[in-house]
Structure 1
Amino acid sequence: MWADGGYTGTLLDWARQALGVVVEIVKRPDLPHFTVLPRRWVVERSLAWITGHRRCVRDYERLPHHHEAMVRWAMIRITSRRLTQTL
């Protein structure tokens, strides 16, 4: 799993112990000009796809598992449209 540099600290140990997932921190290079961060676009693109669905744009849901369900439905819809798309 990839994470932003802001997630360093206890997240790495917790993810390894609780979830059995290794988290790789993608750090920003210390260069004076713009550089593309590796794998960062995957997260940004996925979030943009999810926010294309009305119920995922704002916090309409009161419970976290309701919001999780809406995100899952959005990704199911996106994936099914891409799988059934004719080329």
Structure 2
Amino acid sequence: MQVVQRRDGGFRSTWAKAGTPHPAVPLFTVVPRRWVVERTFAWLGRCRRLSKDYEYLHVCSENAIYLTMAMLLVRRLARSPR
């Protein structure tokens, strides 16, 4: 598990009067919608070619990711009722 620091420093949507100190930032906060990224990586991990780093060039790996996501999209569109 990796703990990441929020970009806003924990002060998003926080209002304070001028001259008052900022509220304390918690050490750990859940990053919203991070599960979407983790789910996408899980989908990519199912692809045999992307399960390990077989490619020599980064461009080939990127193209393999595009191809895999296109295949997932086509499968999902073919499965959905009209």
What is the TM-score when the length of structure 2 is the normalising length?
0.62
Name segments (4+ residues, structure 1) moved above 2 Å. Answer: 24-32
The answer on 1:78 being equivalent to 2:77 is no
Structure with bigger helix share is 1
What is the TM-score when the length of structure 1 is the normalising length?
0.59
- Aligned 8 A contact 1:56 1:70 in 2: yes
Q: Deviations over 1:11-65 (max 9, x none)?
A: xxxxxxxxxxxxx848898488xx8541111000000001100111111000000
Could you say which structure has the larger radius of gyration? 2
The answer for unaligned runs of 5 or more in structure 1 is: 7-23
The answer for unaligned runs of 5 or more in structure 2 is: 11-24
Q: 2:49 aligns with which of 55, 64, 71?
A: 55
Aligned with 2:55: secondary structure? coil
What amino acid does structure 2 have at the position aligned with 1:56?
L
Aligned with 1:5: secondary structure? coil
**Number of corresponding residues:** 65
What amino acid does structure 1 have at the position aligned with 2:62?
E
Query: % of aligned pairs identical?
Result: 37
The residue that corresponds to 1:43 in the other structure is 37
Structure with bigger strand share is 1
> Judging changes above 3 Å, is the alpha-carbon distance between structure 1 residues 26 and 71 closer, same or farther for their aligned structure 2 residues?
farther
The residue that corresponds to 1:64 in the other structure is 58
Shift of 1:5: 2.9
